[in-house]
Chains A and B, each alone.
Chain A
Amino acid sequence: MPSTIVTLKVNGRAQEFLTRPGTTLLDALRDSLSLTASKKGCAQGTCGTCTVLLDGKPVFACLVPVETVAGRSIETLEGLAAGDVLHPLQESFIALFATQCGFCSSGMIMAAKGLLDRNPDPSRADVVRAISGNVCRCTGYEAIIDAVLDAAAKMKKAAPSRRKAAE
């Protein structure tokens, strides 16, 4: 079976590439688009390092055949920073030492972004639930949860002034 052309909207930009049958969204992002923030850990949907947002919802990119999501919108860690200005989640991960080896960080941040986009004021339990599909083998969970809550607080504070600026 020949390869097919797939179009995706990745981090707000239309991307077109050639793909072999059954290529995962993760492999397409990494190998065809050179977006290597999403990691391949288990390739079984159990470790969460490949988490990206599909139409705004966190999914395991290793479980998604890319042909089945043609035309849809994907957000990866690479889309978070605005130039040199980091996203509050990235800032908080650095400030609160939520990254050790770093392998889980991009998946953790994308799962957390999926949560904060829907629920800007999460409880600690909400954060634990949201990252329950992501494994950190340095076991730095507490720092990660602290960082997500810190980012949520920062974003909440910034939100009213942003609204004012828009007015």
Chain B
Amino acid sequence: MLRAIDVPQTTAEALSSLARARDALVIGGGTLVMPKVQAGISGLGALVSLSRLKLDKIAIKGDKVTIGAATTLAAIGEERGLAFLQPAIESVGSPTLRNLATIGGNLFTEQPYGDIAVCLLALDAEATVATKRGMKKLPVAELLKKGIGRDAIVTAIGFKKPEKGTWFYRKAMRRAANSASIVTIAAHCSQSKGRVAKARIALGGCGTKPVLAAKAAAALEGQKLDADAIAKAGALLIQDAAPFTDAYASAWYRARVLPVHFRRAILGE
């Protein structure tokens, strides 16, 4: 049972509150933390809520996007300037869940959930993290690998909006809506003169956290985005992936369908 829940008004208060209680967790929308509270997991004594910190603003200036960490997935899905992310948003949970779930929380979700974290990794997004020593910027890639440590709060996430026709997303699910990922593919392939200039591919369902498929991305660079190049890159995905077995799919199945869904993602099949 919880001993305390703090609903601070400022980030500084939230950080002190976290520092005071060693058994506290940060709570955004509650979709990750509350199931733990309800299940009565041990060692969780307090919650520090982000609900009054006003971390729910979306700012778009040119191609520069900054999203407050407590912005709901529903709000991001409704933002016209972020239409490229809408299919990814709508692939997560249900509309009811998305009215609570936040973009910041998505970074701390374990696979096969957390499809927005897969997108943020492909976008090479950067998190703004508040600590007692001040604010710092942390690439999402690093955050996903190492976490942010105790006494720290993600306050915002920033990235550059991809140019039209350079963003690809696909999530394979057991049913059309409200299901975890079998595999998720998010890719940003910038192009120049009809060839891939730079590719960044992130995968879900291929490890406890989203992973970068660096070898497949390297294989795409300098190539035309045609069936041949996509097949060659698709065959390399598994070298950076560690698909797992759970109630949704076996590791074997995930590995088998990964290149198929990669092809479908890129060719829009």
Residue pair A65, B96 in contact (C-beta under 8 Å): no
Q: Which residues of B are found within 8 Å of A63, using beta-carbon distances?
A: 29-31, 34-35, 100
Chain A interface, DSSP helix/strand/loop, else mixed: mixed
What sequence of 0s and 1s flags, for each residue 42-65 of chain A, a beta carbon within 8 Å of any chain B beta carbon?
011100100100100111101111
Which residues between 1 and 52 of chain B lie within 8 Å of chain A, taking CB atoms? 1-5, 7, 27, 29-31, 34-35, 37-39, 46-47, 49, 51
**Contact, CB under 8 Å: B100 / A132:** no
A129 CA / B95 CA spacing, docked (Å)? 7
Closest Cβ neighbor of A72 among chain B residues = B51
For chain A residues 97-140, which have a beta carbon within 8 Å of chain B?
A: 111, 114, 128-130, 132-134
Task: List chain B residues, Cβ under 8 A from A65.
Answer: 5, 27, 30, 34, 37, 47, 49
Q: Which residues of A contact B5 (CB under 8 A)?
A: 21-22, 65, 67-68
Verify A45–B31 contact, CB threshold 8 A.
Answer: yes
B95 lies within 8 A of A60 (CB): no
Q: Which of A60, A67, A68, A69 contacts B96 (CB 8 A)?
A: A60
B95 contacts A133, C-beta separation under 8 Å: yes
Q: Which chain A residues (58-93) contact chain B, with CB distance < 8 Å? A: 58-60, 62-65, 67-70
- Please tell me if B129 contacts chain A, counting CB pairs below 8 Å: no
Q: Contact check, B49 vs A58: say whether CB atoms are below 8 A apart.
A: no
A132 partner, pick from B3, B99, B177, beta carbons under 8 A? B177
Kindly state the separation between the CA atoms of A134 and B27 in the bound complex, as whole angstroms: 23
Q: In the assembled complex, how far is the CB of residue B225 from the closest CB belonging to chain A, in whole angstroms?
A: 31
Taking the closest CB of chain B, its distance from the CB of A145, in whole angstroms, is 13
Q: How many angstroms from the CA of A13 to the CA of B39 in the assembled complex?
A: 32
Q: How far is the CA of A85 from the CA of B22 in the complex (A)?
A: 53
Q: What is the interface size of chain B, counting residues whose CB is below 8 A from a CB of the partner?
A: 30
- A1-B3, A22-B5 as given contacts; A64 in contact with B30, CB under 8 Å: yes
Measured between alpha carbons, how far is A54 from B94 in the docked complex, in Å? 16
Within the assembled complex, what's the spacing in Å between the Cα atoms of A145 and B136? 48
Q: Is A38 an interface residue (CB 8 A)?
A: no
* Cβ-defined partner of A48 (8 Å) among B2, B38, B96: B96
* Residues in B lying within 8 Å of A, measured CB to CB: 1-5, 7, 27, 29-31, 34-35, 37-39, 46-47, 49, 51, 74, 90, 93-97, 99-100, 177-178
Chain A positions near chain B (C-beta within 8 angstroms): 1, 20-22, 24, 43-45, 48, 51, 54, 57-60, 62-65, 67-70, 111, 114, 128-130, 132-134
